[in-house]
């Protein structure tokens, strides 16, 4: 997990660096100066190469994380909840956390797809001919990528909640059966 977090941090730094290379942060209402437009045109190819690399790395990361998150839901949470329920034990809180986790996973998938489409659109823009549109598209993709990051944090919070619910379940079961002594 630490390696995955490092990759996310590095990828975040790359996209932040790309937008910094394009130009200094601008207010939405402020028009770009000629110098900023020239800077975008000048660094266009290197920025697009970096964004293309980010796009490829994010796709791989998305597949790996998506599989891990799905596996946690289907192979861990749901199976354990079903086992608890089949033994006529109280799995109410475990099931509730699992439902919230699955909803967050669906949101993650949707938000990632929106981000991916946004970044793909930005990469299709000829930044030498349309520097302002390119900048706006990259800024939009960056915002959508931040949402995906927020979704990942939410998924990890639900994973932590499930662990807490599991620990409470085990403690309650041990106290109920007298094994906790």
Burial code of 67-87, b = ≥16 C-beta within 10 A, e = fewer?
eebeebbeeebbebbeebeee
Residue 180: C-alpha distances to residues 106, 168, 170 (Å): 38, 12, 10
| Whole-number pLDDT of residue 177 | 75
- Domain ranges across the chain: 2-177
Classified as helix, coil or strand, 87 is: coil
Per-residue model confidence (pLDDT) at position 46: 94
| pLDDT recorded at residue 30 | 75
pLDDT score of 31 = 87
Q: How far apart are the first and last CA of the chain?
A: 34
Output the pLDDT for position 8.
Answer: 41
The percent of the chain in helix, strand and coil, each rounded to the nearest 5, is 85, 0, 15
Residue of 142, 68, 60 lying closest to 101 (CA atoms): 68
Burial annotation 144-181 (CB, 10 A radius, 16+ → b, else e) = bbeebbebbebbeebbebbeebbeebeeeeeeeeeeee
Answer whether 0.85 is exceeded by the pTM: no
Coil, helix or strand at residue 127: coil
Q: Could you say which residues of the chain have pLDDT below 70?
A: 1-29, 178-181
Q: CB atoms < 10 A from the CB of 90, how many? A: 13
d(C-alpha 69, C-alpha 157), whole Å: 12
Are 125 and 137 a contacting pair, CB within 8 Å?
yes
Cα–Cα distance, 92 to 21 (Å, whole number)? 51
């Amino acid at each position: 997990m630490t390696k995955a977090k490092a990759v996310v941090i590095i990828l975040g730094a790359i996209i932040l660096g790309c937008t910094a290379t394009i130009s200094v942060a601008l207010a939405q209402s402020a028009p770009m100066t000629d110098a900023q437009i020239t800077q975008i045109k000048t660094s266009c190819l290197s920025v697009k190469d970096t964004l293309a690399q980010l796009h490829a790395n994010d796709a791989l990361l998305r597949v790996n994380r998506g599989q891990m998150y799905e596996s946690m839901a289907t192979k861990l949470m749901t199976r354990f909840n079903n086992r608890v329920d089949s033994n006529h034990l109280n799995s109410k809180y475990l099931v509730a956390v699992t439902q919230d986790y699955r909803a967050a996973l669906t949101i993650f998938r949707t938000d990632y797809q929106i981000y991916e489409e946004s970044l793909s659109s930005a990469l299709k823009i000829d930044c030498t001919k349309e520097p302002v549109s390119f900048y706006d598209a990259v800024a939009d993709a960056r915002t959508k990528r931040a949402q995906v990051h927020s979704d990942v944090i939410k998924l990890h919070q639900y994973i932590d909640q499930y662990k807490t619910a599991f620990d409470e379940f085990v403690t309650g079961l041990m106290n109920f059966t007298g094994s906790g002594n």
